[in-house]
Structure 1
Amino acid sequence: MQPLSDLFSHQGDITRQALAPLADRLRPRNLEEFVGQQEILGPGRLLRRAIQADRVGNLILHGPPGVGKTTLARIIASTTRAHFTSLNAVLAGVKDLRVEVEAARQRLERHGLRTLLFIDEVHRFNVAQQDALLPWVENGTVTLIGATTENPYFEVNKALVSRSRLFRLQPLEPRDLRVLLKRALADEERGYGGLAVELSSEAADHLLDVAGGDARSLLNALELAVESSPADDTGVIRIDLEIAEQSIQQRAVLYDKQGDAHFDTISAFIKSLRGSDPDAALFWLARMVEAGENPRFIFRRMLISAGEDIGLADPQAVVVVEACAAAFERVGLPEGLYPLAQAALYLAGAEKSNSVLGFFDALKSVRATNRQDVPSHLRDANRDGAAFGDGVGYRYPHAYAEHWVAQTYLPAALQGEVFWLPGRLGWEGTLQERLQRRRAAQLSAAAESSADSGLLLSSGPDDAGLERWLQRQAGAEGERLDQLRQRFWDGARWQRQDRTLIVAARSLLWALDPLEASPEGGVLIGVNAAADLERLQAQSQLLDSLRSPRLLLLEPTSPRKLAAAIEPGERFEWLVARSPFQGLAPALWLQWLQQLNQLCSPRAQWRLLLSEPLLGPAGALTELLEKPGDPSNVSKDPSLTNLLRRLTLQEEGWLAPHPGATELSAALEELGWAVELESWQEFLTLELSETALQRWFGPEAPYRRRLEAAMSAGEVNRLEAGFRDRIGARLPQRLRHNRLIARRPAQSPSPSPQAGEANRDQP
């Protein structure tokens, strides 16, 4: 005979089942009845295979309400051979947890039976409760199946998460909800199959739409509609659109201020502002307001967006948001929604730029660069500057035209780095051209300084790679080279369609003027080394507003390949170069001259700059030692004095350029050009450093090889010691610049644009 208590318990289960809500009665009992989540439960999917094989390990299911988390746990319970037990984290405490764990331990020890512990709303467990569960999950006493509407990475113990497989359940699709709706109307045992219920298509569509992927919400609405609607005279319960709207009048806004919906919605809002979509921005803003989000939080995020996504394209953006936030504080709700929406619409409509992110590039460089010494000319000269030269060489920008002067402000190891790239739009777009021109001038100055230092001590055809001996300080080169550029182009008359060919280039310095003056023409730059090509390609990216030049890698020993590399029939109005043929044999540089001559248009003009050092290292040290008032007593070391004087005479032959201005002028005249030659000298200084000594006296240094061919090893060592004794001294340097301008004989020295047109077809 069955105990009376069991009879009452069984009857209670029947009664509860009959009185249970429709959503609970219709829970799927197996995987075949489960609807939706095909991405994780479809045939062959991992979770489905694990359930069918009864190999479900620690599992955490997370997703919005009504998508099947608890249902899936019950299906696992019905298919597993392990003992299944469950707790609700809202109601259970540490005591309940310990009872379940102890029972699981005994089952495992006595019967070898595993225990699956299902904890619904697992995120509701506090830290102490989750910590209490961890050891038993870790040693396998229980296998955890957790369900949560929150992101487990934020709400669940990280140790539990790391030991569990996570599955994210998505809101149900309308087609899935329609299956559940039809099942509820057709199931005679658990649904309304025993009743005559007629659901109009409009009512069904409304229920599916407003349910928003929540099966529980859909079934609760259907239950309310059916239970509250009387049957008509024919015994049919008719559910039309009006009844459906009364049953589920408003879609529930899925929004938890501490959960995924909170972060996902504000993310969608900010991305809509960034994407300049005012409609989407207002939608996500309205969703947050409707869900009760704190407007102060929204304003904070809009202030961030004003700096990150709009920045200097519209500097007023942050001002507008700040003003709207202040207005909101003064007005309050509901009228404060006006300035809230106004700020959002302003940001959505503003021009966009993220150029301020350049700060983080600078931050990376700060963390990655070893040498961050402040350049000496930028240091504070008010403390010990007189003793260490701090501040010497600094040029006060307000003392120059436009309150700007080309000098470097970055550490030496970061010369040429670009952290801020202004956008083309808005306020910063007005700065782009001027900033790019100045940056290009500074970059070219840095590169050109190495070109200046690359003046050859000797340039015979058998020794074209001789070491270059002058190295400029980057901080002093910008203004000097800019003045040199202006003098080089002085008197040039441009036309917008002019084409310019620059050969043997090592920087963009000489391309700046034609790039700006001839926007409808073009600039082709030929370089002799792959390293120079790579550097100029990087630099030319900053010149997009000035029409980036074409870059071409040339072979110095194959002048005929130039014509094959350009477009057929292309001719140039300007042929430009600085010391283009250094180190080439006469026959080779004459071939280059003839090849370039064939690429000249009828009104072409040559502009060549030939710079040659007038002092080599020995000559520079001789002048320093013989300078009146110099503390060095030359008479104490007559052997060094005589050695330097003898070597100075030899250096004069080594320094002679090949070809020089005279040879090039004569060659151009033979080709029918009228040549003008202008010469001037420039006086500079070079600090004698260990780096300079290595360039001159290193084991493989060309200058040392030249010395060893001209004197004994003892004399070379004596000379090196003489230089080393004077490290830190500033050696004088003299340069001679020769500007060579060649025109067709029919052209006037300074032709006007009209005159150039008149001479276009003359031979």
Structure 2
Amino acid sequence: MPKPGLATIFQKRKDQPNSHLSSQPSQSQHHAQPEASSSKRKISSLSQAAPGTDRTPHTKRAKTAAQNLEKAAPLAERLRPRTLADFVGQPHLTGPGSLLMNLIESGSSGSMIFWGPPGCGKTTLARLLAKQSDAVFKELSATVVGIKEVREVFEEAKGQLTLLGRKTILFLDEVHRFNKSQQDIFLPYIEQGYIQLIGATTENPSFKINGALLSRCRVFVLERLTDDDISEIVARAIHRVSPQSNQSHEPAIDITDEVQHVTSSQTAVSEPPSSPSQPAPFPAFPQLTPQILKSIASLSTGDARTALSLLELAISTSPSIPTSTLLDSLRRSVSTSYDRTGDSHYDMISALHKCVRASQGSAAMYWLARMLGAGEDPMYVARRMVVCASEDVGLADKHALPLAMATLQACQTIGMPECRINLAHLVAYLSEAPKSTRAYEAYKRAEAAAQLDMTLPVPLQLRNAPTTLMKELGYSKGYAYNPDYAHPVHNDCVPIQFVNDVFLRKEGDMEGKMWDEDKLKEWEFKENDGQDWGGRDKFINGNTK
């Protein structure tokens, strides 16, 4: 019995109401066929039905199964681009003359790691690149498979290459989920050319990918999509899910300009453009007002998957729902992209620390609010501020470290949400406190000197002499106990090699400090109301000491 074709499935869907959300065939259709064949024996008795009835009930069941799986797939999955020409964003990778395209055209792309934020097109790009070659394509996700499944793919790839001369491309999503020891399994197969690995990760490969594996792969960085990219993706999606598009055999038109026009015009006027007198830009979906389209692009924050999920929510909403209600639903449906174990975690704490160091209290307070609002552990922030109290404020304010330790204890005792007030108090104090890195820099200089030779002996004058033998050997000989004297005394306190080295420099010592006139002028213009810095006179004529 012939299996139903895609055209048959789509024709059946066209006759059903609300079929516009499933305009693209899902890959899950291919997995529906075994269910149909396995059910053939169960319903074989139905094939003896009365004349005139459908004698192929298993075919109907296969259609239903395919349609059910297709309906279950999110809109973002159903609307993935089918060709590189349909891919939106990442022009530095997919544009003419780009390194990646040149490698693909030359056939020597090798193994690759795609690194970028969620929803920027890593998986889609990998699938499209695989279509450019006749290699066998295998796709796995490190979130659901282990070494056993990967090894099976490798053995199959080895057989394909040996018997048929075809290479295998393995796309491994979330490759960073394999620890560095597990990643070693890839090395011999990549080295011998049995597979071409395309890994995708949202984490920094420098920290998450085995160094040996990283050296065998090219790393391509994908950027967060721009609002214009998101607008184009949304425009194409609206056209593809539009009932008129599904019922027409005409080629798809590009309505990106229309979406961008209505979203940009929204920013040009102060009153809401979605008034009753203004026609909706998309008659099939009157609820997709310019304000809704702009909000989708804004709320997605460069994540195409999020944008299409929001679009799906908006399309499924009744047109009678007020725009304000729909906007509120869209905002509530978007979860934070902050990951307490990912790069954003380290990026934001770095931003907070550097703003405190620069005495930018308002900016530091913003990053503190961002982190705590996203669910960051307040103890982590407090511990970092304890470090900041000594690293950046240091000797300039003796109260900074006690306050930081008190804040750490307060966070431990009372927890969130109240301890956010304690952290705000500490961040404000550290931001406004004078700064001194003398102690921190002194340690770094001393550490560098100590690493030169870790075997240098302690000067005899500083050694303890609890026994007669030690005293006879000269331990502690000539040591002057400072409190016994009414005047300063000298002791040999460091190995002779470092007698003239000054690790802890005097307050105000500018040795080694940089003078950058351009940086100073930028500060004067942006933060000092264009006025000259008061300390400039001390540094004229190149005098920086």
In structure 2, how many angstroms separate the alpha carbons of the residues matched to 1:271 and 1:53? 45
Q: What's the counterpart of residue 662 of structure 1?
A: none
**Which structure has the greater CA radius of gyration?**
1
Following superposition, the deviation at residue 319 of structure 1 comes to: 0.4
Alignment of 1:300-311 (within 5 A): 300-311=383-394
Question: Matched residues in 1 for 2:448 and 2:180: separation?
Answer: 37
**1:52-91 correspondence to structure 2 within 5 Å:** 52-91=105-144
Partners of 2:118 and 2:303 within 8 A in 1: yes
SS state at 1:249 partner? helix
Asked whether 1:141 is paired with 2:194, we answer: yes
Amino acid of the structure 1 residue aligned with 2:420:
L
> How many residues are treated as equivalent by the alignment?
424
Question: What corresponds to 1:259 in structure 2?
Answer: 342
Selected match of 2:157 from 92, 104, 128 = 104
**2:475 is equivalent to residue 392 of structure 1:** no
**Corresponding letter in the other structure for 1:421:** R
Is residue 280 of structure 1 aligned with residue 363 of structure 2? Answer: yes
Distance 1:373 1:109 in 2: 64
Structure 2 counterpart of 1:51: 104
Does residue 156 in structure 1 map to residue 209 in structure 2?
A: yes
Q: 1:215, CA displacement in angstroms?
A: 0.8
1:331 paired to 2:417: no
Stretch deviating more after TM superposition (207-216 or 181-190):
181-190
Query: Secondary structure at the residue paired with 1:167?
Result: strand
Question: Could you tell me how far apart the structure 2 residues matched to 1:97 and 1:13 are?
Answer: 28
The reply on whether 1:204 has 2:327 as its aligned counterpart is: no
In the alignment, which residue of structure 2 is the partner of 1:297? 380
Q: What one-letter code is carried by the residue in structure 2 that aligns with 1:224?
A: L
Moved more, 197-206 or 112-121: 197-206
Shift, 1:290, TM fit: 2.6
Question: How far apart are 1:378 and its partner, in Å?
Answer: 5.3
Larger RCO (CA within 8 A; separation ≥ 6)? 2
Select the residue among 92, 101, 113 that pairs with 2:166. Answer: 113
Partners of 2:493 and 2:210 lie apart in 1 by 50
TM-score, scaled relative to structure 1 = 0.50
Deviation of 1:114 (Å) = 0.8
* Aligned position for 2:8: none
Distance 2:463 2:156 in 1: 75
Residue equivalent to 2:249? none
CA-based RMSD of the aligned residues comes to 3.6
Q: Matched residues in 2 for 1:19 and 1:387: separation?
A: 86
For 1:219, give the aligned amino acid.
Answer: L
The equivalent of 2:54 in structure 1 is none
CA positional deviation for 1:48: 2.1
1:672 counterpart residue number: none
- Specify the code of the residue in structure 2 equivalent to 1:203: I
Task: Provide the rounded CA distance (Å) in 2 between the counterparts of 1:395 and 1:88.
Answer: 68
Task: List 4+ stretches of structure 1 deviating above 6 A.
Answer: 6-11, 190-194
**Pairing 1:556-567 to 2, within 5 Å after superposition:** none
Of 437, 454, 458 in structure 2, the residue corresponding to residue 354 of structure 1 is: 437
Structure 2 counterpart of 1:399, which letter? Y
Aligned: 1:413 with 2:466: no
- AA at the equivalent of 1:266: I
Give the letter aligned to residue 345 of structure 1.
A
Pairing 1:226–2:315 present:
yes
Question: Once structures 1 and 2 are overlaid, which stretch shifts more, 330-339 or 379-388?
Answer: 379-388
State the Cα deviation string for residues 231-290 of structure 1 (Å, max 9, x = none). Answer: x6xxxxx98454233223365322222221222222222112212222222222222223
Secondary structure at 1:248's aligned position in 2? helix
Superimposed CA distance per residue, residues 439-495 of structure 1 (whole angstroms, 9 cap, x where no aligned partner): xxxxxxxxxxxxxxxxxxxxxxxxxxxxxxxxxxxxxxxxxxxxxxxxxxxxxxxxx
Counterpart for residue 89 of structure 2: 36
**TM-score, length of structure 2 as denominator length:** 0.68
Contact in 1 for aligned 2:110/2:196 (Cα 8 Å) = yes
Q: Residues 115 and 122 of structure 2 are in contact (CA less than 8 Å); yes or no, is this contact kept in structure 1?
A: yes
Q: Deviations over 1:686-728 (max 9, x none)?
A: xxxxxxxxxxxxxxxxxxxxxxxxxxxxxxxxxxxxxxxxxxx
List alignment gaps of at least 5 residues for structure 1: 233-237, 425-431, 437-519, 521-536, 545-763
Deviations along 1:575-595, whole A, 9 cap, x unmatched? xxxxxxxxxxxxxxxxxxxxx
- For residue 324 of structure 1, report the CA deviation from its aligned partner: 1.3
Deviation at 1:128, TM superposition (A): 6.8
- Find the aligned partners of 1:251 and 1:27 in 2 and give their Cα distance: 21
Distance in 1 (alpha carbons) for counterparts of 2:63 and 2:220: 35
Give the strand-richer structure, 1 or 2: 1
For residue 126 of structure 1, report the CA deviation from its aligned partner.
Answer: 5.3
1:243 to 319, 326, 329: 326
Task: Provide the rounded CA distance (Å) in 2 between the counterparts of 1:119 and 1:295.
Answer: 35
- Measured after TM superposition, the shift of residue 27 of structure 1 is 1.6
Aligned counterparts of 2:228 and 2:286: Cα–Cα separation in 1:
21
Match in the other structure for 1:2:
2
- Pair 1:246–1:158, CA change in 2 (3 A): same
Q: Distance in 2 between matches of 1:371 and 1:88?
A: 51
Hey, what's the Cα distance between the residues in 1 that align with 2:461 and 2:299? Answer: 70
Residue 341 of structure 1 pairs with residue 424 of structure 2: yes
Matched residue SS, 1:199:
coil
Partners of 1:296 and 1:151 lie apart in 2 by 24
**1:423/1:177 CA distance change after superposition, 3 Å:** farther
Deviation at residue 13 of structure 1 after TM alignment:
5.5
Question: How many angstroms apart in 2 are the aligned matches of 1:9 and 1:54?
Answer: 39
Q: Which residue of 2 aligns with 1:216?
A: 305
Separation in 1 of the partners of 2:177 and 2:464?
60
Code of the aligned partner of 1:229? S
C-alpha spacing 1:422/1:178, structure 2 compared with 1 (3 Å): farther
Question: 2: distance between equivalents of 1:47 and 1:334?
Answer: 48
CA distance 1:142–1:10, shift in 2 (3 Å): farther
Q: Residue 351 of structure 2 aligns with which residue? A: 268
Say if 1:320 and 1:258 are closer, same or farther in 2 by CA, change over 3 A. same
Quick check: 2:461–2:491 contact (8 Å CA) kept in 1? no
SS in 1 for 2:327: helix
* Closer, same or farther: CA 422–313 of 1 in aligned 2, 3 Å: farther
Q: Summarize the Cα distance change of 1:154–1:415 in structure 2 as closer, same or farther, 3 Å threshold.
A: closer
Q: 1:3 to 1:205 in 2, by over 3 A?
A: closer
User: What stretches of structure 2 of length at least 5 have no aligned partner?
Assistant: 5-32, 35-58, 247-251, 256-281, 512-536
Aligned mates of 1:297, 1:333 — CA distance in 2: 13
Offset of residue 332 of structure 1 = 2.5
Counterpart residue number, 2:451: 367
- Aligned-partner Cα distance in 1 for 2:152–2:333: 43
Cα distance between partner residues in 1 of 2:70 and 2:343: 34
Matched residue SS, 2:435: coil
Q: Which residue of 1 aligns with 2:533?
A: none
| Alpha-carbon separation, structure 2, partners of 1:104 and 1:10 | 33
Task: Calculate percent identity across the aligned residue pairs.
Answer: 37
1:315 aligned to which of 398, 406, 411: 398
| Preserved CA contact (<8 Å) 1:37 1:170 | yes
Per the TM alignment, residue 380 of structure 1 is displaced from its structure 2 partner at its CA by 5.6
Matched, 1:130 2:213: no
Residues 530-679 of structure 1 mapped to structure 2, 5 A cutoff: 544=545
Q: Following the alignment from structure 1 to structure 2, what is the Cα–Cα distance between the partners of residues 272 and 203?
A: 35
Distance in 2 (CA, whole Å) between partners of 1:330 and 1:113 is 63
Paired AA for residue 420 in structure 1: L
For 2:315, give the aligned amino acid. V
Name 2:145's counterpart in structure 1.
92
The 1:272–1:423 alpha-carbon spacing in structure 2 relative to 1, beyond 3 Å, is: farther
